[in-house]
Homo-oligomer: A and B are copies of this chain.
Amino acid sequence: MKLATVGTSWITERFLKAAVVTQGLEPYGVFSRNIDKAKAFGAPYGASVFYNDYQQLLDDPNVEIVYIGAPNSLHFSYMDRAIDAGKAVICEKPFVSTMKEFQQIKRKVVEKRAFVFEAITTLSMPNYTSIKENLQKIAPVHIAKVDFSQFSSRYPQLQAGERTNIFDPAFSGGALYDLGVYGVHLAVGLFGAPQDVVCFCNNKQYGVDISGMLLLKYPDKVCNITFSKDTHSTTITEFQGEKGYLTVRGSTGRCDCIGLALVGEDEQDISLEQSDNPMEYEAAAFVKAIQNDDWNYVMQALNQSETVMDILCKARKSAGIVFEADKA
């Protein structure tokens, strides 16, 4: 399938690197308002068609699938127009900004039977499947502490008075939507929709949250999700069960390092080896779903995204985080 990309940051570049090694996916077109930037960005990965107008990309009948790595606030309109143009879509997390946006996308996905996916690395990692299986060994789990803290080099810039998209409410920025979304996807993937959601955030004087914590209530468990771009951390995620505990050390976007401790036993490293580029797994999964016409996969992924968006929006309401997108 011929792939065209939107956005020229590191995340889109990482996806192009994954696309190059993904069977059935072929870097073809790149959109950037600056055509020279589009060429310089896409040519190294084999892209050969460049657009400085998004409509050109949508009008190109050769483009079969669009990857959207633009700022969060633009996900909705790029995705909405791509669906209208009959393209398959891979949209970077967070899927959209608001539930209103989500419902419009969902309506179109169902109406047009569009193959649309939220790119959230966690759920396609081999170790995610391993976590899911191994949690059965320590079940029931009553306490889950999920962490994605990563000090941002842009935070000192923000403190110095510079504006930056990732911390701008006009771009649906902040740590919850950037990092917290991984933890929420992990929790929802493992435990489903919670009964109750509370969120407290820090540093809101910058217009969005720079760090904070979510608390999710389930019938038999409580889940804490930490997200932080203004602190340093061991970044340990832990699931506590009646028969032992399971740890994830490092990024919950990758889940590289998994430990399992059954009652009375030492913690064992049960990590599976994973590729350096976590996006290879999601790229392969999405292509496979399209090739197999696996509509069930699309709907399950969309349900997952809906539950996650619902939590993110409830969390923002709870913590008092308002985006420009809320005013639309």
List A residues at the B interface (Cβ < 8 Å). Answer: 138, 141-143, 145, 147, 149, 151, 196, 198, 200-203, 210-213, 215-217, 220-222, 224, 226, 228, 230-234, 236, 238, 240-245, 247, 261, 263, 267
When the two chains form their complex, are residues A149 and B145 in contact, meaning their CB atoms are under 8 A apart?
no
When the two chains form their complex, are residues A233 and B202 in contact, meaning their CB atoms are under 8 A apart?
no
How close is A226's CB to chain B, nearest CB, in angstroms?
A: 6
When the two chains form their complex, are residues B236 and A231 in contact, meaning their CB atoms are under 8 A apart?
no
When the two chains form their complex, are residues B143 and A211 in contact, meaning their CB atoms are under 8 A apart?
yes
Q: How far is the CA of A212 from the CA of B222 in the complex (A)?
A: 6
Interface centre among A149, A210, A212, A233 (most CB of B within 10 A): A233
When the two chains form their complex, are residues A236 and B233 in contact, meaning their CB atoms are under 8 A apart?
no
Q: How far is the CA of A217 from the CA of B196 in the complex (A)?
A: 18
Contacts of A243 in B (CB 8 A): 232
Q: Which of B213, B217, B226, B242 contacts A231 (CB 8 A)?
A: B242
Contacts of A211 in B (CB 8 A): 142-143, 222, 240
Q: Which of B220, B228, B242 contacts A142 (CB 8 A)?
A: B228
Q: How far is the CA of A149 from the CA of B241 in the complex (A)?
A: 11
Contacts of A216 in B (CB 8 A): 200
When the two chains form their complex, are residues A143 and B138 in contact, meaning their CB atoms are under 8 A apart?
no
Q: Which residue of B lies closest to A229 (CB)?
A: B142
When the two chains form their complex, are residues B232 and A244 in contact, meaning their CB atoms are under 8 A apart?
yes
29 pairs, A vs B, C-beta closer than 8 Å: A138-B232, A142-B203, A142-B210, A142-B211, A142-B228, A142-B231, A143-B202, A143-B213, A143-B228, A145-B145, A145-B224, A145-B226, A198-B198, A200-B215, A200-B222, A202-B220, A211-B222, A213-B222, A215-B224, A231-B241, A231-B242, A232-B242, A232-B244, A232-B261, A233-B238, A233-B240, A233-B245, A234-B245, A236-B236
How close is A3's CB to chain B, nearest CB, in angstroms?
A: 38
Contacts of A213 in B (CB 8 A): 143, 215, 222, 224
Q: Which residue of B lies closest to A228 (CB)?
A: B143
When the two chains form their complex, are residues B215 and A240 in contact, meaning their CB atoms are under 8 A apart?
no
Contacts of A228 in B (CB 8 A): 142-143, 240
When the two chains form their complex, are residues A231 and B149 in contact, meaning their CB atoms are under 8 A apart?
no
Q: Given A200-B196, A221-B202, A222-B201, A231–B143 Cβ distance below 8 Å?
A: yes
